[in-house]
Amino acid sequence: MIEIQHVNMVYPNGVGALKDINLTIEQGEFVFIVGTSGAGKSTLIRLIGREFLPAGGRIRVFGRDITKLRRREVSMFRRNIGVVFQDFRLLDNRTVFENVAFAMQVVGAKPREVRRRVPEALEMVGLTGKAKLKPLELSGGEQQRVCLARAIINQPSLIIADEPTGNLDPKTSLGIMDLLKNINIRGTTILMATHDREIVDRMKQRVIMLENGRIVRDEQRGVYSQDAH
- Contacts to other proteins from residues 30-49, by CB under 8 A: 49
Q: Please identify, using beta-carbon distances, which residue of 48 and 200 lies nearer to other proteins.
A: 48
Under rule CB under 8 A, residue 130 binds other proteins: no
Under rule CB under 8 A, residue 11 binds other proteins: no
Nearest distance in Å: CB 180, other proteins: 18
Under rule CB under 8 A, residue 76 binds other proteins: yes
Cα 79 off chain centre by:
13
Q: Burial of 26 by CB count in 10 Å (0-12 exposed, 13-18 middle, 19+ buried)?
A: exposed
Distance, CA of 228 to CA of 129 (rounded, Å): 42
User: Could you give the string, one character per residue 46-75, with x where binding to other proteins holds by CB under 8 A and - elsewhere?
Assistant: ---x-x-------------------xx--x
Under rule CB under 8 A, residue 78 binds other proteins: yes
Q: How many residues bind other proteins (CB under 8 A)?
A: 24
Do 163 and 87 touch, CB atoms closer than 8 A? no
Nearest distance in Å: CB 27, other proteins: 20
User: Could you give the string, one character per residue 137-176, with x where binding to other proteins holds by CB under 8 A and - elsewhere?
Assistant: -------------x---x----------------------
Under rule CB under 8 A, residue 216 binds other proteins: no
Q: Please identify, using beta-carbon distances, which residue of 152 and 199 lies nearer to other proteins.
A: 152
Kindly calculate the radius of gyration of the chain based on its CA atoms and give it in whole angstroms.
17
Nearest distance in Å: CB 107, other proteins: 6
Among 12, 13, 63, 108, binds other proteins (CB under 8 A): 108
Q: What is the chain's length?
A: 229
Among 45, 47, 103, 124, binds other proteins (CB under 8 A): 103
Under rule CB under 8 A, residue 111 binds other proteins: yes
List residues near other proteins by CB under 8 A: 49, 51, 71-72, 75-79, 81, 83, 89, 91, 93, 102-103, 105-108, 110-111, 150, 154
